[in-house]
Structure 1
Amino acid sequence: MSHTARVGLPAEPDMRLSTRSRYAVLALVELARRGPDGGLITLGEIAAAQMLSVAYLEQLFGRLRRAGLVESARGPGGGYRLGPPAERITIAQVVEAVDEPMPPEGSDTGGPADALWAELGEQIRLFLSAVTLAEVAAGRVAGRARAPAAPDETAPAQAAAPTPHGAAAPAAAARATPAATARAPAPPAHAARQAAAAPPERSPGALAAEPVPHRALP
């Protein structure tokens, strides 16, 4: 793998997936496969099963033990076993135990791409936090990746603009007008003539304000 850094691109996200963290996951998967009743396992057995270096595993298991993910016993018949059950250990915990989170190169330049690298690291952390060691050991990880929701899918719907009291929305009125016109029966001709001849109705206020004619006294 080339170590030449490209301008403007980070080498790794905030949560690093280095060779060290990958080997730690492989080693703990081997412990998880043996199960809680499998007894203690030596580093030599893990190294042979996963084709890893014993010296390298010693460094990794020192960090895993300090993080509380594995327990050890010395002496004849000694070895390692998982601390918590495999169902309670997430891959993110394993990665964080052996690799301290570090800001990626190029992520603090003050440029507009800084947020991109920060979000990439957060997406990796969220995914690994949702996967347990037991799921990896059982092969139940395929198909777990999901694309993030688009911004327009997560934004709340805008409230419709209020309409005046008694006024229908334009689109609804346009849809309702033809149907209402077709259903409403035409008034009889004599009713239309009576309505035209009848004087307009006046409100009580208008009647009160209308002047009263004076009668001449005899």
Structure 2
Amino acid sequence: MMKISTKGRYGLTIMIALAKGGEQKPLSLKKIAQMYNLSEHYLEQLIAPLRNGGLVKSVRGAYGGYKLGRKAEEITAGDIIRLLEGPLVVVEGDNCDEVTKRKLWDKIQSAVDQVLDSTTLKDLAEDDDTGYMFYI
């Protein structure tokens, strides 16, 4: 089992909101929090690692906020999730022998990594028509 915490889910939400804004004016965290009915305070905690990781940049001033640090097609879901969550590891079950278990879980881990690393932020922004609830 692999579970992505609220850090990862809300981080993806921030990034999707910024990607949908494109090259338009920056978005404030307050606006993103209102758009998705999330805690602005919690989003403030997530924006620092996203900024430090180069995925977002801040724009100062009365109409400031945040914009993507790179083009949406250059940022993957894996970049965002790993930055906020650390390495993702599939948790092994206890009902298989060791050799079978290792081979199976290695394949599952590889598949998860492949999906995360081939899904761009642009893909997520274009597919996100459900409001907030999306799954990886």
TM-score tier after normalising by the smaller chain length: 0.7 to 0.9
Match of 2:102 among 100, 108, 114: 114
Match of 2:52 among 66, 91, 94: 66
The percentage of counterpart residues that share the same residue type is 33
Unaligned runs of 5+ in 1: 1-10, 141-218
CA contact (8 A) 1:27 1:50 kept: no
- Determine whether 1:42 maps to 2:20: no
- Map 1:1-218; keep pairs closer than 5 Å: 11-12=1-2, 17-36=4-23, 38-101=24-87, 103-106=89-92, 111-112=98-99, 113-139=101-127
Greater radius of gyration (CA): 1
| RCO higher in structure (CA 8 A, sep ≥6) | 2
The structure that is helix-richer by fraction is 2
- What is the TM-score when the length of structure 2 is the normalising length? 0.80
Unaligned runs of 5+ in 2: 129-136
CA contact (8 A) 2:89 2:109 kept: no
Spell out, residue by residue over 1:11-36, the C-alpha distance to the aligned partner (whole angstroms, 9 max, x if none).
42xxx532221111111111111111
- Partners of 2:85 and 2:60 lie apart in 1 by 26
What's the C-alpha RMSD, in Å, of the aligned pairs?
A: 2.1
Cα distance, 1:102 vs structure 2: 5.1
